[in-house]
Chain A
């Protein structure tokens, strides 16, 4: 057994000592040098994905390839290995691993208090920027992990410290089992790495969100520029490392397709050629990914099927997750067919052992073998700037290659030997002879029939005495067969024999200790191969079609803009003409073209509006749907962060909002700090890309007052401000500094580009508008006074629950109020919140909107408007404007939406009933002439969702039946985001 283990473990080619380090003194013997060649002949040599040499010869010496080709002169001092029938491939390269580098431990202690400042000296102000890290310093060769890579075909891996937002540089390691670090380190300052994840080494709070990480990286580059120009008197080792490593490949790890887009934005802003580490869901938005025109490193961690056997548990699995199981293996194929460059990695797999199966899955799902090989050899080599050393078989390259039994990526093909830097590791011994067949053995006068199967893989011997099975164990390695079987209780017979050609010769040790020599001939070859043939008729996998977005209720085809004529409806114009009965609305080219009686619309699609009400689309001034995160809580001002960095266009709440007649929202930052982040104003074009939804020219920013910014309701006592007094000072400080910043900028003197200050300067210049989360009258008044002192106007107070107490002052200042209809009591500062607030502010001349701050309520804003009729007796028309025209005004979009007026956008809702009625349902929600929600189509989609889930369930059950791995039924957690949401689940 020991011998077998030793052999399977491979390795060992003792006569061949690693050269190199010849300037080292030798005290253990004489200095010797091996300059012999090893020559591989008669092989099919795939020197690169595009070039194959049949009957080729490969010559290596001292770890490198010295010659490769069809007719190659074989040096005299050669050892020749005949590879007739075998294939030779360049070894794989994994350019994204943490091989041999342990993740740092989190510091213990620290308590629950947030830590706002950095902890290091001489480095960047943010602890998560660790660009000075050199992965090689933490590197220790891990032979166990190396074995996994080697067996999976990898000879060279790039590794680095996966910790922090800027992670420093890595190293390129050859997985040479014999050498030492000196041999293995091909490069010790390889590529520079980035991610969105904070360092485990520091508890520094900022950034708490992805948008904060985005902003931090942006500011880092501005600071780098400032530092490089010699404007800083102190030393910053992090920035110096960034300068030093500029010319290296820059690799940025993301988590999902939207991270890829974020990374691309940063790359574009600073002219950086990032290689993006993908996550496997890029296929969902492949056209957008293609447009990035970047190179990717793709993991292959395809999800396991869910265990659907228990229908109760299965009911918690969402269609989106089921589809991802079905479609994820097509991800590499989509990259290939869209011409997007990519390398493949074992990253995210539990072990490189899984790599072969997962890659096979990707190939089965359409990835070409050639492309797969390139993604593992030439592409990573080129990306790392190492094409001359690794990735192909050419003169001067490292002798890193695999010897296989057949074409690579064929299911039956075996990897025999893996040579790395000229050192051999045996994976599946190619010297093993096939001894499958039948043998007649006579032992102690008794005749047995021995049947041997699978001798070249996992041998199985079946011993029979006549028709009776004899339980036995068999091993076969290095040409030796060893067999043990029982002959009665505790009586064992052992056979040991060597196989030469078709003869098994050796001896038998009987249970009594007597020995007997044997020599038997193989009677016939095994017929075991026939069975294999039957199994393998590869079926094309069933992959379900994608939708836009690729979740339940996504569109099979993106809906198109249409000319629409709505006939004979009650039309709420929100204009001087008021509510018109029996009226037609014509939408052409995405705009409202005509409103009147008996219109004809040419080829416009006619919709019967009899008995229906037609209104402008609802606009939610305060929304937190369609976002990956809400608060950047790491600083008391985060004016630099941008909600547009964290839009989630796949959020089902978009669809649900449409079903409630909502066409536009302001995605606001939360209220964790007095100065929050920049809003994203968007139209809810379900299925479209982020760019198509976002209204880039609408520039808003969130400010906040009160309990949240004081951190009153959670354990935090260290961040300024802790009182409303302090809140004012934060504003005064920032506005004062912004003025000085702008003055310096205008003066022509050098200045440190500051993304935060840029946003505040925009506010002072009324180029960016404040929407301020507010509760009690004192603070509301305060902010207006601060603004007046700096000579600008607050645009909107949102929530504004005590607005009614200072409505006269608000009207005088010219600020709008966007409030809840009837929320109160949930915290101390809403004690005096009253549902009559909107009415009083409205009556005082303030532009009033009713907002949601809630993904459920946002889909019933028509009802919330109706509450303003109840509380405070506002006319129905005015109440309706509070969810349409007035928020449009507050968002400076009333010039093109918010009312039904010729020339405005065709953002229109058709209601089943009076829109303020509790019975009203949105039947069609139209944005710019495109029907994004249709209640009839919704019914059809429900049927499709059910059918598709059923189909996928059956497929998953089949997987389980086959005995393949499944994961327990799980339900993803959908976090409901509000102003107060500090942490988002990733």
Chain B
């Protein structure tokens, strides 16, 4: 046993050294050898934790997750005192669609047009983005990519974050359509001399009618022999249940209208995105089987008289009511790497680490429709997981030594770690 471990350490050392010397962005190749991670605390992602676990994965799939002494297979990774997590899944992001926020040529997230479900985010996804690679060292290994803007922005897809191109990256293509529900309050354009602040949107009903009209037409289109209509065509999956309709809405009025809309239109899978006031409609969301991708957890309250920690505790308020919740990210795309800490933030309010973990693993997998292959450390699922020195939901514990996507031993290097090493050496003589 001792000898084996020594050899394995050598193998790991070799792997590490080679991964340093090769270009950081190079995606890992298909899993050939079998890995066994032993001795770690396995955070399954479904609310349970297995101590001293043996996790085995081969051909990209998890084949064993058990506690205690199980026969290992292939390369053994000793991980005593460490923690293994399923790869975190970011939802509601524009990762890979924008590289440098202020530079227009690098922005591919917002197409013109009001109702454009046929516009597909997946083909603009830049698998070689420097921003994308910066996600991986924090354990964010998969993401939903969505277009923004307009009323219906287009379709989202799910990618894994280590790939040569978008086709390789795709985990689920066109999994859903993003709809931005009309706002019940509109903002005075103070820069044009209007009174600042928000007042009731006079066109709210008209705008919701436009949405209904579009959706009804798209539905009618599925029955007929009309000539091709790309926008309607793109909505087909919504009606047969193959695709989700992600509806961004924040206040109570909007959310109640979204629920009614779901039932009136007979749409099977509606996901509420945003949901600042979702706690006021929690039981209806549960009874109508509508899960929620919440807005950014680390956000300021919308009003001066709201509890200072309202956005921090909102996930727990919803979970306590039985709502299925994933933590989304509607802010700056490059901040998505802080997703684990949003989950950590929720633990301040009495939610366990294991339950908070589900908000960025099992729940998003289920909400996105990829739970058969992703989201938890369970036999049969993709070996998309990582090893962390400590609690990965805490900054100080989120130190990754290894990460795998579909069993592939991926690089944890990035443009940023490269610069770190180069300049550490220059400035302080430290070799990292």
B-binding residues in A (CB < 8 A): 312-313, 315-316, 318-320, 551-553, 652-653, 655-656, 659, 707, 712-713, 804-805, 807-808, 822-828, 831-832, 834-836, 840, 843-844, 855-857, 859-860, 863, 866-867, 869-872, 876, 916-921, 938, 942, 945, 949, 968-974, 976, 983, 985-986
Contacts and interface: CB of A to CB of B under 8 A. Distances in A.
Nearest to B191: A983
B393 A552 contact: no
B198 A918 contact: no
Nearest to B342: A918
14 contacts: A312-B184, A313-B253, A316-B251, A318-B304, A656-B301, A656-B308, A825-B131, A825-B333, A826-B102, A834-B419, A857-B298, A973-B188, A976-B300, A983-B191
B420 interface: yes
Interface in B318-353: 332-334, 337-338, 341, 344-345, 347-348
A973 B199 contact: no
B100 A825 contact: yes
Contact of A316 (B188, B198, B398): B198
Contacts of A653: 300
Interface residues of B, number: 59
B423 A971 contact: no
Most central of A313, A319, A823, A834 by chain B CB within 10 Å:
A834
B399 A843 contact: no
B197 A972 contact: yes
Contacts of B396: 866, 869-870, 876, 916-917
Interface string B343-378: 011011000000000000000000000000000000
Contacts of B240: none
A879 to B, nearest CB: 9
Given A653-B300, A707-B102, A825-B101, A970 B198 contact: yes
B341 A918 contact: yes
A836 B432 CA distance: 12
Contacts of A938: 308
B307 A827 contact: no
Given A827-B101, A916-B396, A872 B196 contact: no
B305 A918 contact: no
Contacts of A831: 100, 130
Interface string B265-307: 0000000000001000000000000000000001111011101
Given A653-B300, A832-B415, A969-B199, 16 more contacts: A312-B184, A312-B253, A313-B185, A551-B305, A553-B305, A826-B102, A827-B102, A828-B100, A831-B100, A835-B416, A863-B341, A870-B396, A917-B394, A919-B348, A920-B348, A976-B300
Interface of B: 99-103, 130-131, 184-185, 187-188, 190-191, 196-200, 251-253, 277, 298-301, 303-305, 307-309, 332-334, 337-338, 341, 344-345, 347-348, 391, 393-396, 398-399, 415-417, 419-420, 423-424, 427-428, 430
Contact of A843 (B277, B344, B427): B427
A968 B101 contact: no
B184 to A, nearest CB: 7
Contacts of B200: 313, 968-969
Given A866-B394, A968-B200, A970-B197, A856 B300 contact: yes
Contact of B303 (A318, A655, A835, A919): A318
Contacts of B253: 312-313
A90 to B, nearest CB: 38
Contacts of A855: 300
Contacts of A804: 419-420, 423, 427
B423 to A, nearest CB: 5
B251 A971 contact: no
Contacts of A844: 427-428
In the A-B complex, the 6 residue pairs with the closest CB atoms: A918-B344, A552-B305, A827-B102, A866-B395, A825-B334, A836-B420
A655 B308 contact: yes
Nearest to A810: B427
Given A318-B303, A918-B347, A973-B190, A826 B428 contact: no
Nearest to B131: A825
B196 A985 contact: yes
Contacts of B333: 825
A972 to B, nearest CB: 5
Nearest to A805: B423
B185 A319 contact: no
Contacts of B196: 972-973, 985-986
Contacts of A712: 102
A659 B308 contact: yes
A834 B399 CA distance: 16
A834 B416 contact: yes
Contacts of A916: 395-396
Contacts of A871: 420
B143 to A, nearest CB: 15
A301 to B, nearest CB: 14
A856 B197 CA distance: 20
Contacts of B102: 707, 712-713, 826-828
A867 B348 CA distance: 18
A985 B305 contact: no
Contacts of B345: 918
Contacts of B305: 318-320, 551-553, 945, 949
Contacts of A836: 416-417, 419-420, 424
A870 B185 CA distance: 41
Contacts of B198: 316, 970-973
A942 B348 contact: no
A804 B419 CA distance: 9
Contacts of B395: 863, 866-867, 869-870, 916, 918
A857 B296 CA distance: 12
A315 B185 contact: no
A701 to B, nearest CB: 26
Nearest to A942: B307
B403 to A, nearest CB: 15
A938 B313 CA distance: 15
A972 B196 CA distance: 7
B42 to A, nearest CB: 20
Given A828-B102, A843-B427, A918-B345, A551 B419 contact: no
Nearest to A707: B102
A983 B192 CA distance: 12
A919 B304 contact: no
Contacts of A986: 190, 196
A805 B425 CA distance: 11
Contacts of B187: 973
A976 B332 CA distance: 15
B140 to A, nearest CB: 13
B304 A856 contact: no
A255 to B, nearest CB: 13
A945 B308 CA distance: 12
A653 B304 CA distance: 8
Given A316-B198, A855-B300, A971 B428 contact: no
Nearest to A983: B191
Contacts of B299: 856
